[in-house]
Amino acid sequence: MKESYKIAVIGCGYWGPNLIRNFNSLPQINVKQVCDLDQKRLTHMKKLYPSVQTTTDVEEIIRDDETDAVAIATPVHLHYEPARRCMLAGKHTFIEKPMASSVAECLNLIELAEKENVTLMVGHTFVYSSAVQKMREIIDAGELGDILYISSQRLNLGLFQSDINVVWDLAPHDISIILDILGKEPIWVNGHGKAHFFDNIEDVATATLQFDNGEIAFLHQSWLDPYKVRRMTVVGSKKMLVYDDVQTNEKIKLFDKRVEAPPHYDTFAEFHFSYRYGDIYIPRLEECEPLKAECEHFVECIKQNKPPKSDGHSGLKIVAILEAICESMRNNGVAVGVNDRNGKRVPSKEFWGAKGKKSSLVV
Ligand SMILES: NC(=O)c1ccc[n+]([C@@H]2O[C@H](COP(=O)([O-])OP(=O)(O)OC[C@H]3O[C@@H](n4cnc5c(N)ncnc54)[C@H](O)[C@@H]3O)[C@@H](O)[C@H]2O)c1
């Protein structure tokens, strides 16, 4: 087992520098190279990290046998090719969310990682946050009772992307959190959206995820909202939970609130809901930057040759759901079945009797 690892970061626009900063803070990691097509970004990175080598050519990283691992933070349509080339060169590969532009690309990358015996991890940052881990603990302990529904809003003004719509940009976070806390994937999804500024690039969207035990999740993403909102409400049969990631403290609140219908009644006059208004509990959360925990996990998985929590398969599940939401959006919100284990989608007519017409995904 190596004591330390050399890593290269490809793409230092908005998000890449956060990866560089976090990897750089880990004692077992040496950030050897950073790569970007934009020389200005490289000059800025060199100022912050004088020992780092800079390049505009990914090939230099691929050819460097000393580089053990890469982290890719380029626009989504440029994840696949550098990831493929780096894994072929035997480098452990971390790819920002969403893993790639299509299920087919994800499947190829998973197969390649297995063949080359390299670690493949996807940057689903929130599943490494103490807030999401606490939510999962609370749900697993049965404190909320049966999960009735989840509602999630991720809204702000901008940042408009030119290569992906708001679903591909923002929903990976909500979907990764929901799959993590429920421990399962939806059976079908649907989506609605509107592109106000660029053709086929929806800037506001909603999606519904239906799970096998009746749980349902409603998602709302927007680049066109006056407020920055990052809120998820989980409503259970016993209690309710609100996760507000915009709060610096008190990100999670557990409400002892519920509604109960009377078990027996003969007439409408006897029918009374009982509403419980109990205490609000705010659990203490570990203070740790989720991205740091994520970077540490990547290194730990490389060291121990173990699959990451957010491995290629979990990246694939999310991309399959994003594809299905967008397919639904292009077909007036028809329900689209999701069978992400193999990356194959079940025709929606099996669920709704709808046409389930296939459309090409525009990202
Ligand atoms: N985990 C998170 O919370 C989080 C947050 C924001 C963004 N992201 C993800 O990070 C990725 C990058 O997003 P961003 O907002 O930083 O985008 P960005 O456009 O700000 O930056 C991308 C950078 O990649 C560079 N680039 C493009 N092609 C390249 C190539 N062939 N070789 C080298 N560099 C190249 C660009 O010059 C640019 O500097 C996306 O996948 C995005 O979804 C993740």
Give the closest residue (by CA) to ligand 1 atom 38.
13
Q: Can you list the alpha helix ranges (DSSP code H) found in the chain?
A: 16-24, 39-48, 58-63, 80-88, 103-116, 130-140, 166-182, 290-304, 312-329, 349-352
78 CA to middle of ligand 1, Å? 9
The answer to whether 361 touches 326, Cβ cutoff 8 Å, is yes
Give the closest residue (by CA) to ligand 1 atom 4.
15
Q: What angle do CA 332, 337, 338 make, to 5 degrees?
A: 125
297 CA to middle of ligand 1, Å? 21
Nearest to 278 by CA among 253, 248, 261, 299: 253
Residue 152 structure tokens: 């999630």
Topology match between the domains 5-125+290-310 and 127-281: no
Give the closest residue (by CA) to ligand 1 atom 7.
15
Phi, psi of 76 (to 5 degrees): -55, -40
- Whole-number pLDDT of residue 340: 47
Residue 108 structure tokens: 């190829």
The third-level CATH classification (topology) of the domain covering 5-125+290-310 is Rossmann fold (3.40.50)
Q: Which of 10, 14, 61, 291 maximizes ligand 1 atoms within 8 Å of its Cβ, making it the mutation to test the pocket?
A: 14
pTM of the model: 0.93
Number of the ligand 1 atom closest to the C-alpha atom of 74: 24
Q: Which of 21, 56, 74, 174 maximizes ligand 1 atoms within 8 Å of its Cβ, making it the mutation to test the pocket?
A: 74
- Whole-number pLDDT of residue 1: 77
Cis peptide before 98 (omega within 30 of 0): yes
19 CA to middle of ligand 1, Å? 11
332 CA to middle of ligand 1, Å? 31
Whose structure tokens read 């780092």? 52
262 CA to middle of ligand 1, Å? 54
Number of the ligand 1 atom closest to the C-alpha atom of 41: 39
Number of the ligand 1 atom closest to the C-alpha atom of 159: 15
Q: What's the rounded Cα separation, in Å, for the pair 148 and 151?
A: 10
73 CA to middle of ligand 1, Å? 4
Which stretches in the chain have pLDDT values below 50?
340-342, 345-363
CA-based torsion, 53, 58, 59, 63: positive or negative: positive
Q: What's the rounded Cα separation, in Å, for the pair 207 and 167?
A: 9
Which burial class, exposed, middle or buried, applies to 289 when counting CB atoms under 10 A from its CB (0-12, 13-18, 19+)? middle
Among 3.40.50.300, 3.30.360.10, 3.20.20.70, 3.30.390.10, name the CATH number for the domain at 127-281: 3.30.360.10
The answer to whether 153 touches 235, Cβ cutoff 8 Å, is no
Q: What's the rounded Cα separation, in Å, for the pair 117 and 296?
A: 20
Do strands 188-194 and 336-337 pair parallel, antiparallel, or not at all (unpaired)? Answer: antiparallel
Long-range CB contacts (within 8 A, 24+) of 349-357? 351/187, 351/188, 352/188, 355/331, 356/331, 357/331
11 CA to middle of ligand 1, Å? 5
The answer to whether 228 touches 155, Cβ cutoff 8 Å, is yes
175 CA to middle of ligand 1, Å? 20
- Whole-number pLDDT of residue 352: 32
Kindly report, residue by residue over 25-55, the tens digit of the pLDDT: 999 999 999 999 999 999 999 999 999 999 9
- Whole-number pLDDT of residue 284: 96
Where exactly are the structural domains of the chain? 5-125+290-310, 127-281
Give the closest residue (by CA) to ligand 1 atom 6.
15
Measured from CB, residues less than 6 Å from any atom of ligand 1 are 10-16, 35-38, 41, 58, 73-76, 78, 96-97, 123, 125
Count CA atoms within 13 Å of residue 314 on its CB side: 25
189 CA to middle of ligand 1, Å? 27
